[in-house]
Amino acid sequence: MLTNNNTELFYKYKESGDLTLRNEIVLLYMDLVSQIAAITRNMYAKGYDVDDLVNEGVIALIASVEAFDPGRGIKFETYAKVKIRGAIIDYIRAQDWVPRRVRKFGRKLDTAYGVLYNELGRTPTNSELAEHLELTDTQFKQLLSDTAAVNTLSFEEMLYEDNISVFNASMYGTSATGSGGVDARLYAQERKQVIAEAIAQLKPKEQQVVSLYYYENLKLIEIAEVIGVTESRVSQIHSKCMLLLKTKLEHYIKNLS
């Protein structure tokens, strides 16, 4: 949350354009960049140096400080988190870090999930997905675990790109979000509700995994220790949850068009 002193720094920077003040603000929020980079690397880019992700995050943080208007009533941390995570996700996506076989199966799984969800009117079971994809349960579970990062990235690309549009619209006083021309604030509220309803459809353990990952910022191996299962099992659960959240968000966005 912005303290009175931080708010004053933002106003002073907006009035003066003094780069010394800007850099002072950036230093105040460096921990935010480090935290987001560490969490994102754990899911997507374990083979990458976290410093590379931090560098991308710092660039986004600087841009956030320069663009932020403290008079709009939006928390800087909320605004900056969206920008920073979005920039890091864009960087990871550009590295083409996913093995071809995993990317290929991720696309097939995404399509299969959508088809079965529409046919059944509910979340398909692992057995139903395995049968549709002509895989054994063991093969499916392994591939589901392997595609956890792909499925999460696919969901978050959609989520953070839309979030950036919403925050930009809110910051600059425009009303359109780019998704059907819905008012930015209304769109943000409705999208949160869509995601909340999707999470409510998850089983208790699935809800716990999502909560520990997104709200407690735990690594998958740490979540595994908390709920008493293997890291591979957590990856499977997380992967399946992301498929549902992405499907729900896609349906909502399509209905706006």
At 24 the pLDDT is 94
Residue 236 one-letter amino acid:
Q
At 163 the pLDDT is 55
DSSP string, 79-139: HHHHHHHHHHHHHHHHTT-S-HHHHHHHHHHHHHHHHHHHHHSSPPPHHHHHHHTT--HHH
Backbone phi and psi for residue 76, each to the nearest 5 degrees, phi listed first: -60, -40
At 1 the pLDDT is 44
Q: Which residues contact 207 (CB under 8 A, 6 or more apart)?
A: 199, 200
Mean pLDDT, the chain cut into blocks of 10 residues (257 residues total): 70 93 95 85 63 92 93 85 86 76 91 94 95 96 90 80 53 47 68 88 93 84 93 94 91 75
Backbone phi and psi for residue 18, each to the nearest 5 degrees, phi listed first: -70, 115
